[in-house]
Amino acid sequence: MNGQGIGQILVWCAVLIALAYPLGLYMARVYMGDRFLVAGWAGWLRWTERGFYRLIRTDPKRERDWKAYAKTLLIFMVLFWLVVYGIQRLQAHLFLNPDHLQAVPSHIALNTASSFITNTNWQFYAGESTMSYLTQITALAVQQFVSAAVGMAVLAAVVRGLARRSTKELGNFWVDFYRSMVYILLPLSLVLAVILVSQGVPQTFGGHVSARTLEGVAQTISRGPVALMIAIKQLGTNGGGFFNSNSAVPFENPNGLTNFFESISILLIPAAQIFMFGKMVLARRHAWVVFSAMFALFLVGVAIALPSEQHGSQVLRASGVNITQGHGQSGGNMSDKEVRFGIANSALWATATTDASNGSVNGGHDAYTPAGGAVPLVNIFVGEVIFGGVGSGMYGLFFYIVIAVFVAGLMVGRTPEYLGKKIEAREIKYAAVGALFVPTMALALTAASVVTHAGLASVFNPGAHGFTEALYAYTSQSNNNGSAFAGYGATSFSASLGAVAMLFGRFAPALAALALAGSLAGKKTAPASAGTFRTDGPTFAVLLIGVIVLTAGLMVFPALTLGPIVEGLAH
Amino acid sequence: MVRDLRASVVAVVVVTALFGLGLPALFTGFSQLAFKHQANGSLITENGRTVGSRLVAQAFTKPQYFHERPSATSPAYNGGGTTFANLGPTNPDLAKGVKQQAAAILKLERPYNPGLTIHQIPVDAVTTSGSGVDPDVSPAYAQLQAHRVAAVRHLPLPTVQRLISQHTDGRSLGFLGEPGVNVLELNVALDKETK
């Protein structure tokens, strides 16, 4: 067994928890507008914050109800969509284009704009040969900050809805947005970016290098302002890299150390926000229970992916080459994986990046073994709630929590309560829409893509694996993950269908979560009684896992049998 | 509505200017001052000529050099167009590619390493890397090639093996990641040794 690899994974888990817990408490203080932000060394930050509010003429103390909050957010996103689309189409005529790249084709630009404003970062293009430096930094990387901050803002509003009583107000969108950007994402990204650039991730506007190799052949080496983009790509659950092969490329991820911090960053904020929530609603034990449930699901993924990849694919096992770990190699399924990461760090990354809605990769998921590739697929399909996206993971999880509480209420025979609030028909409706809309859409779009000639044109691999490519593509885009079985090709059909998936997949659950929070904020809280189902014990953790597995797992199972399961049975 | 629209327009402009231009410009300036070599792509220069980057694989076909892993980019080892091969675990094309690559390795190495069989070829030698420009091979694959390189260069085998271990990047901090042999740096060192 892979002892060294498992050791690395255990250290990784310990560091993740050690960083996520204090970060979560800090984030809670940021959104509660704690005094520390006003005083001392951070005073000047407060000054720039006031400047921002003055510039956009908002009164930070004026809070809004869920509808007004959602309206502001949607208008903001529509404008940014236009900007991202426009810059891609005009990049040939703009500055910072040292490699003289042409305008991005309209269907790719449409897909990419939808992809980046929704925190998906699905990439139907090869970054280094399609996007100018200007597009990368002002259109795409800005969205990696903005889309993350918008998700976090929505979560802050939703958590306030759970914490408050008898009110309509959830908060001020601009305040939550600004604080997410400046007090959370910016400092974390700068720290990670400095680590990355020190280890060899480029940060230059110098354009590509023309080298003459040792054997005297010309070689083009693309570079760019990479490090800062990779930092926010990892921290903001974005996942869209500078280069086509993402964090498998040494210029994005040069060694074991960068891989460690980049993969920790995938789950850092999503894990922290559970503790943030616990502090804001004064339910720390409940937060630990939720964290444990999610962590258990994460470990199950690793425990399946790691041995599957180490065991190797059918083709490699049959080939006769040496796939045994040890004696100077990590062995296993090294197809589309990098030597410096080996099997353990690749399997860990693939699990983390799909538990969170990150979607960055350090190896090609298309080449994973049937079981190893099914883990990311199922992780995404359950709705990006196993930690999930920044903001979106936690507010998505509330749908399942509410359903779990409801199921428990049915069993006990009482009106279900959550955090002292009665869960009634209206809340269940919002939660059901939030939990079921996206997986239903993912299956419908997959079906549409495999029964049409236009859809089938995108499939790359033959047989059952080709179906898995399509299923993965629409599951990933609908759930705003962005990782791919990357053989799946861009056509105007698949690009447009994907854009629809990403936009609805982002905003339908966000609106449902805000509506749910708005409804809960208006309720009174009642003290817990002997008949209240407790949400701060292990029973609830088991129930929550059960609800997630039954709701999403059963929806994806029939599709799994057509893809990875058939493939796994093949020789 | 108008209020929101106006606020959004201003916010879009401010955020794009600060996070899209100001921040990258400042951070690039910092990187160029503090980490000039790394920030410009860890380039390797020999006799005034840029021969490549330590982080980008390049094509080696001559027998006196250590060879890289297979690459799916076009042309192979394209530092301007990274890609996966995307061949699924049961794809017949994957089987074909692995078989061909293994046969090519046996043909190349056997004259210098007579007992070599396919069972001794490490898996990274016959599989494409994720990036197509993986700069490393496994220590096992480097050892396999050492016999050939030593014979063609008329160097003692221990000398070549010493160079391999000198250019093996161990795990970061001793425990993160997997060891890999940086092929370009190793070949540069070999050229110096032979001179």
Structure tokens at B46: 């020999």
Instruction: Tell which residue, B124, B179, B107, B114, has the closest CA to residue B147.
Output: B114
Cβ contacts of B9 on chain A, cutoff 8 Å: 79
- Name which of B39, B88, B121 is nearest A465 (Cβ-Cβ): B88
Cβ contacts of A11 on chain B, cutoff 8 Å: 175
Cβ contacts of A52 on chain B, cutoff 8 Å: 14
Q: What is the pLDDT of residue A121?
A: 95
CB A338 to CB B78 under 8 A? no
Q: What is the pLDDT of residues B142-193, one digit of tens each?
A: 999 999 999 999 999 999 999 999 999 999 998 999 999 999 999 999 999 9
If residue A181 lies in a helix (H) or strand (E), which one and from where to where? none
With beta carbons less than 8 A apart as the criterion, state whether A250 and B55 touch. Answer: yes
Q: What is the pLDDT of residue B1?
A: 79
Q: Report d(CA B14, CA A182) in Å as an integer.
A: 13
Q: What is the pLDDT of residue B99?
A: 97
CB A339 to CB B124 under 8 A? yes
Q: What is the pLDDT of residue B86?
A: 95
Q: What is the pLDDT of residues A398-429, one digit of tens each?
A: 999 999 999 999 888 888 999 999 999 999 99
Cβ contacts of A214 on chain B, cutoff 8 Å: 51-52, 58, 60, 65, 184, 187-188, 191
Helices (H), chain B: 2-15, 23-34, 36-39, 92-109, 139-153, 157-166, 183-194
Cβ contacts of B1 on chain A, cutoff 8 Å: 71, 75
CB A212 to CB B49 under 8 A? yes
Q: How far is B87 from chain A (nearest CA, A)?
A: 5
If residue A14 lies in a helix (H) or strand (E), which one and from where to where? helix A3-31
Q: What is the pLDDT of residue A124?
A: 94
Q: What is the pLDDT of residues A6-45, one digit of tens each?
A: 999 999 999 999 999 999 999 999 998 866 565 566 677 7
Residue A568 amino acid letter? G
- Name which of B43, B85, B124 is nearest A329 (Cβ-Cβ): B124
Map A318-383 to HEC letters: HHCCECCCCCCCCCCCCCCCCCCCHHHHHHHHHHHHHHCCCCCCCCCHHHCCHHHHHHHHHHHHCC
Q: Report d(CA B191, CA A210) in Å as an integer.
A: 21
Q: For residue B130, what are the β-bridge partners?
A: none
Q: What is the pLDDT of residue A187?
A: 95
Distance of CA A521 to the CA centre of its chain: 27
Residue B107: count of CB within 10 angstroms of its CB: 9
Q: Report d(CA A289, CA A279) in Å as an integer.
A: 13
Q: Report d(CA A557, CA A567) in Å as an integer.
A: 14
Q: How far is A458 from chain B (nearest CA, A)?
A: 13
**First and final C-alpha spacing in chain B:** 75
Q: Report d(CA B180, CA B169) in Å as an integer.
A: 5
- Say whether pLDDT at B44 is over 80: yes
Helices (H), B16-135: 23-34, 36-39, 92-109
pTM of the model: 0.96
DSSP secondary structure code for residue B45 in this structure: E
CB B55 to CB A315 under 8 A? no
Q: How far is CA B75 from CA A209, A275, B59, B133, in A?
A: 16, 49, 10, 11
With beta carbons less than 8 A apart as the criterion, state whether A487 and A526 touch. Answer: no
CB B79 to CB A222 under 8 A? yes
Measured CA angle at A334 (ends A331, A339), to 5 deg: 80
CB B4 to CB A72 under 8 A? yes
Q: What is the pLDDT of residues B93-130, one digit of tens each?
A: 999 999 999 999 999 999 999 999 999 999 999 999 99
CB A322 to CB B121 under 8 A? yes
CB A339 to CB B138 under 8 A? yes
Q: What is the pLDDT of residue A102?
A: 96
Q: For residue B180, what are the β-bridge partners?
A: B169
Exposure string of A212-221, with b = 16+ CB inside 10 Å and e = fewer, is ebbeeeebbb
Q: Report d(CA A234, CA A253) in Å as an integer.
A: 11
- Name which of A58, A128, A335 is nearest B82 (Cβ-Cβ): A128
CB A141 to CB B19 under 8 A? yes
Q: What are phi and psi of A376, to 5 degrees?
A: -60, -40
- Name which of A260, A315, A462 is nearest B98 (Cβ-Cβ): A315
With beta carbons less than 8 A apart as the criterion, state whether A455 and A494 touch. Answer: yes
With beta carbons less than 8 A apart as the criterion, state whether A523 and A165 touch. Answer: yes
B15 → chain A, closest CA residue: A142
Identify from B91, B126, B187 which residue to disrupt to test chain A contact, counting A C-beta atoms within 10 A and taking the largest count: B91
Instruction: Mark the ranges of chain A whose per-residue pLDDT is less than 70.
Output: 1, 34-42, 571
- Name which of A57, A126, A214 is nearest B188 (Cβ-Cβ): A214
Q: What is the pLDDT of residue A17?
A: 97
Q: Report d(CA A195, CA A92) in Å as an integer.
A: 32
Instruction: Tell which residue, B120, B115, B30, has the closest CA to residue A203.
Output: B30
Q: Report d(CA A182, CA A178) in Å as an integer.
A: 6
Identify from A172, A191, A245, A467 which residue to disrupt to test chain B contact, counting B C-beta atoms within 10 A and taking the largest count: A245
CB A7 to CB B175 under 8 A? yes
Report the relative pairing of strands A218-221 and A209-212 from DSSP bridges. antiparallel
> In chain B, what's the furthest Cα-to-Cα distance?
80
Q: For residue B172, what are the β-bridge partners?
A: B176
Q: What is the pLDDT of residue A1?
A: 54
Cβ contacts of B165 on chain A, cutoff 8 Å: none
Structure tokens at A346: 């690749």
